[in-house]
Amino acid sequence: MWRNPVSLSFSALKPYSLCNYALSRVLNKTLTTVKMKTLDESDVGIFCFISNLPGFRGILKQRYSDFIVNEVGADGNVVHLTCLDAPPEAVVEHKEMKRSDQLNKSYASEIESFRSLAGDSDADCLKALINQITSGNSEDSISPVVLSANSDKSHRTAIHNFFKENFKFLVTDTIDGPDASSKCIRVRLNSGGNNGSGRNSKKRKERGDNPFDSRGSENWPEHQGKFLRFHLYKENKDTQEALGLIGKMLGIQSRSFGFAGTKDKRAVSTQRVTVFKQHASRLAALNKRLIGIQVGDFCYVKEGLLLGQLQGNRFTVTLRGVVANSEDVIKASANSLGRLGFINYFGLQRFGSGSVPTQLVGATLLRGEWKAAVSMILDPREGDILFILQCLKKCPGNFLQALKAIPRTLRMMYVHSYQSYLWNHAASMRVEKYGTEQVVVGDLVYSKADNTEEMTCVNSECEAENCNDIDDCGQLDEVSATELPVGRNNLVKVRFISYSLLKFFAISDVEPIS
């Protein structure tokens, strides 16, 4: 069987007829009329291709191992998993006060300081809790205390920090308050402490409530970066699913992790992830228990990863069941791809596989139609909708609050999907109007040449021979220049009028895999 393992977008090769797919045709459909079929390119704004060849068809991702994704970091390095071992841990220079010394100490001055911070009622609750602990009562008989409801997040943060600095034997977390706009801080004895039993020594069902919201390990070495960066290798799992499982095993929430981009579920992928104040040894120990997931290549860094902090992804794709008019058509299509490249559309996987396209949800969110957005997300689809249902149970009719219950990275995926649709539609319209053989006013120009080389001015009102440097062109209206993030090569000369967008990938290193 012939295989085409190159990094490609099949939309450049498929023999679909061109059509002017109006923006409103997708975005104005209501839930009562949307009966989703399998998405094709025209549904996501793609209606122009760079080649007129008949193309060929094949099965993509028949096996998840047919689609291999390696993230390319902002530094240009391709991410691979090469080492599962944890590096030597830094030694904390100061020693912890022994548990017995902590409990024998008088905390009268600390309680008075807390009284000025939180008020008499909360200070009295804290005093009663400490009296129970120092009186020698058994841990099982000491109940946590819940402080007064507080809607000021900065004030709650100050209280958390106060306990960290003054009461090492107590731990705090945040729970829901009596109404949707407030939260309460819960204070309890740190049963893990320094006695070796660990925070999660009891099973969750024995604790009888939710696990703590981990703020990272205490007593972090000052000279060591506060974020642990590692490479996440996963098979047939999406990024959120994998990190959710790891977070559950570590006893931390999924939002503790940072990553530059989500990777396909039906694939074998490797990407960088960061987590706040977690020791590499804890994550490395999970490899024995994880199935289809591995973590490694650990290092400590100063900053956590954010969405978009990558150059792209490297794909190794295997096609199966290839069908074409002849082998010559296959060769011609592959040669065209290597010679002309392809329009860099966002592919179908960007728009989900549920009954409602994710770009429709994103457009609804941008319009502020919270109830409609919730209805779309709750429409039968793949994915975890537990966040929304739990919030609606607590706060019926508060659809905005229900949407906020979804992790921010997932919410942003809906908006990014709509953004991707707009990109596809704009790029298709650009190609339909001007073709692909010439650069016109409004294009972003990609240059592999050295940044100091002169560039030809692209302006219908400025002849090239009279304008050797683009900076000499004073006739462009609303010309702007954009700097790329630090650490990335400035290969894109951004001199444009904002009404037109086009972007091509030139493929120069396509080689078939035998």
Distance CA 352, CA 306 (A): 22
Distance CA 205, CA 76 (A): 46
DSSP characters for 443-487? PPEE--S-TTS------TTS-GGG-SSGGG----TT-B--PPPTT
Tokens of 214: 């981990």
Residue 222 has what DSSP assignment? T
On the CB side of 434, CA atoms within 13 Å amount to: 15
Torsion of CA 274, 280, 285, 290, to 10 degrees: 10
CA angle (70 as vertex; 67, 74 as ends), nearest 5: 145
Residue 435: is it exposed, middle or buried by C-beta count within 10 angstroms (0-12/13-18/19+)?
exposed
Q: Catalytic residue at 264?
A: yes
Element (H, E) at 232: strand 227-235
Q: Tell me how far apart the alpha carbons of residues 102 and 299 are, in angstroms, rounded to a whole number.
A: 34
Q: Are 340 and 51 in contact (CB under 8 A)?
A: yes
Q: CB-based contacts of 69: which residues, under 8 Å, 6+ apart?
A: 263, 264, 267, 268, 269, 270, 271, 313, 314, 315
Enclosing H/E stretch for 407: none
- Active-site entry in 173, 264, 297, 443: 264
CA separation for the pair 76, 470 (Å, rounded): 28
Q: Give the Cα separation of 362 and 417 in Å (integer).
A: 7
Residues 479/471, Cβ–Cβ less than 8 Å:
no
- Pairing relationship of beta strands 257-259 and 293-301 according to DSSP bridges: unpaired
C-alpha 277/C-alpha 218 separation (Å) is 8
> Which positions are catalytic?
264
